[in-house]
Amino acid sequence: MSELPTLPVTFRPSSTRVVLLTAAVAIFVVITAVAMLLKQLSPGERVSFVFTALLLDAVLLLLARPKVVVDEDGVTVVNLTNKRRLEWAEILQVTLRAGDPWVFLNLSDGTSLPALGIQPGLARQRAIADARALRALVEARSAAGPERRQD
């Protein structure tokens, strides 16, 4: 088995995040510039243009939010609108099958939690490496009893 990452570690789709944040800035700048350059617009219409740009940016920022944070005590999965803290013992398996849009965590309560912070969209090899690292961490931590985790 390869060496485990040093904790704490954060997994996130960096390429996707850069694209989304760059698009958010560009959209805001372009729409605001258009609103200011169109002389026939009233002040209220200009405000509505800027407000629309802010709404679009809010959506892009929401899409850039996902991450998986791993520390000594467990895993925090931050998806679009929710955040869930998991203890090591709650995670039974980490899966990223061919065609999956992101990693899934199979949990001890019989459910599966999508972890959007590891997704093979723009950086497939990076996502596969991150999924393997998370899987190795889960396997190492679930095999370790409380006394071993104190190391």
pLDDT in tens, 46-68: 999 999 999 999 999 999 999 99
Instruction: Look up the pTM and report it.
Output: 0.82
Span 16-27, pLDDT tens digits? 999 999 999 999
What's residue 142's pLDDT? 78
Span 103-116, pLDDT tens digits? 999 999 999 999 99
Q: What 8-state DSSP symbol labels residue 119?
A: -
Closest to 75 in 3D by CA, of 134, 150, 147, 151: 134
**What six digits make up the tokens of 141?**
């931590």
CATH topology of domain 9-13+66-143: PH-domain like (2.30.29)
What's residue 147's pLDDT? 45
As a whole number of Å, the CA-based R_g of the chain is: 20
Q: Give the residue extent of every domain in the chain.
A: 9-13+66-143, 14-64
